[in-house]
Structure 1
Amino acid sequence: MIIYKIFRTPEWAHLRSEGETRGAPVDINDGYVHFSTAAQVAETAAKHFASEDGLMLLAIDTDRLGDDLKWEKSRGDQLFPHLYRVMKLDDVLWAQPLPLKDGAHQFPAGFDEAAG
């Protein structure tokens, strides 16, 4: 299964330069890296990154994360994927810009928000 992480430009740059990260400030505070499924990521972008430009959408295959990935209830009692280890650059399948246009984030061509 593919899950998604939204990073701001400095967070993405840190992962690329260091090869691993504990995540964004919210991840560090909570003690795990927050991810979203394809069905959840648009709402995550709207709720936590409203009006923010310069974002990157990262795709991660859950098979690469092993037992360190836990599914836990969060927003609206939905199960969200949480990673209880550092996130590694090798975990990332691809990364694409998540530009803001007319107040809405534009997901990459071919990305299906309803999948997953």
Structure 2
Amino acid sequence: MEKRIPNEGFVYRVSVPDEWEELQRTGATLGGDIDRTTGCIHFSDLDQVKMVLNNFFRGQENLYLLQIDATKLGEGLVYEAVKDTYFPHFYGPDRSFQPLPLDAVSKVEKLLTLNGEFSCSLLD
């Protein structure tokens, strides 16, 4: 089951340095290995970001949180059930696996860690 309505006007992407640099340098990215393997770019709603950080990025540094304007992703943004919750995934039109364009990024913040907790103004 899937839904197509974002909970707010934005979705969020935790980005590693190489991905953020590629996005700035080329104007687009297909994400990391998991995104390329699954054929979609994985996002989170704001209330899911800390869980994603703790489950998949614990111990990593130099991470960035990208705020993405969901309206710029159009019908390519789909919410899909993962266990008991829905996560936003970007496939592109007709599930053609399109890259995330830089112009969809409305804000970027470097994530800080303090006592093992991630923080930035978007999360606080």
Contact 1:51 1:100 in 2 (8 A): no
Q: CA deviation at 1:5?
A: 0.1
Q: Specify which of 38, 60, 65 is matched with residue 57 of structure 1.
A: 65
Aligned to 2:37: 29
CA distance in structure 2 between the partners assigned to 1:112 and 1:102 by the alignment: 16
- Give the SS at the match of 1:40: helix
Instruction: Output the CA distance in 1 between the equivalents of 2:87 and 2:72.
Output: 17
Structure 1: which 5+ residue stretches go unaligned? Answer: none
**Which of 57, 72, 77 in structure 1 is aligned with 2:84?**
77
Question: How does the TM-score come out when normalised to structure 1?
Answer: 0.90
Name stretches of at least 5 consecutive residues in structure 2 with no aligned partner.
Answer: 1-8, 92-97
Cα distance in 2 for partners of 1:6, 1:61 equals 15
Q: How well do the aligned residues superpose, as a CA RMSD in angstroms?
A: 1.2
Q: How many residues align?
A: 110
Q: CA deviation at 1:17?
A: 0.4
Give me the TM-score of the superposition, normalised by structure 2. Answer: 0.84
CA distance in 2: counterparts of 1:4 and 1:50, whole angstroms: 17
Identical aligned pairs, as a percentage? 31
Alignment partner of 2:28 out of 20, 24, 49:
20
| Displaced runs of 4 or more, over 6 A | none
